[in-house]
Amino acid sequence: MKQLTLRFNDRLYLACIWIAGISIIVMSFIIPWGIFTRYVLGTGSQWPEPIAILLMVVFTFMGAAAGYRANAHISVAMVTDRLPAAVRPILARAMDVLMLLIAIFMAWYGAKLCMETWNQSIGQLPWMPVGVTYLPVPIGGAITGLFVLERLVFGYQHHRDVVTYDHEKTTEPEAT
């Protein structure tokens, strides 16, 4: 069961990385198009800005979930590094539990927000429901929650091949 769960999360991690990467690439083409149509053609397109914002939200929440699993999130360790070694793992678990609560909050209230705004439309894109723009919040929260549960049950997974493919593995002790 453990290996099945880890393999599933490996694929989910890769999906997050690919979705975030594709979002940033597409966004980097859409923004110049909007600038070109506005200043060169003199007829600004209405769709680049809301689509670019949506892609940035997708990039943010998918990238954050992947970053959590890779243990690549920003952390300030000034206080925790000065605590006794015996206290650090307890604090790390407490932070994981708090992160799980945040992920559950994002998934639950993000889903409610999507449902409540689904029948509204975006001014520049009348065919797109406003709820679609909020979908990355509950999806990212749910994926982050899965990665937090994985860390709580199986420990840190930032050493897995799928996470370390672009650099050498290190034998450093796990960060707390």
| Residue-level pLDDT at 47 | 87
The closest alpha carbon to 151, from 73, 83, 86, 81, belongs to: 73
CA trace torsion 19, 118, 106, 76 (10° rounding): 60
| Total structural domains within the chain | 1
176 within domain boundaries: no
Domain that holds residue 19: 2-154
User: Is residue 169 over pLDDT 70?
Assistant: no
Q: Would you say the C-alpha torsion 74, 162, 144, 175 has a positive or negative sign?
A: negative
Instruction: Please check whether residue 162 lies inside any domain of the structure.
Output: no
C-alpha angle 144-66-30 in degrees, rounded to nearest 5: 110
Answer yes or no: is 27 within a domain.
yes
Query: Which letter, b or e, does each residue of 136-160 get, where b requires 16 or more Cβ atoms within 10 Å of its Cβ?
Result: bbbbbbbbbbbbbebbeeeebbbeb
pLDDT in the model for residue 77: 73
Q: Residue 71 and residue 159: Cα distance in Å, rounded?
A: 9
**Which tens digits make up the pLDDT trace of 80-105?**
788 898 998 998 899 999 999 999 99
Q: Examine residue 110 and state whether it is found in any structural domain, yes or no.
A: yes
pLDDT confidence bin for 161, thresholds 50/70/90: confident
Q: 159 lies in a domain?
A: no
How many CB atoms within 10 Å of residue 65? 29
Residue 139 is predicted with a pLDDT of 97
Q: Does residue 50 sit within a domain? A: yes
Give per-residue pLDDT as tens, 12-63.
999 999 999 999 999 999 999 988 888 888 887 888 888 999 999 999 999 9
Rounded to the nearest integer, the mean pLDDT of the chain is 88
Query: What is the model's pTM?
Result: 0.85
Average pLDDT over residues 135-153: 96
Residue 166 is assigned to a structural domain of this protein = no
Per-residue confidence (pLDDT) for residue 167, from 0 to 100:
55
The residues pairing with 129 across neighbouring beta strands, listed in sequence order, are 121
In a domain, 171, yes or no: no
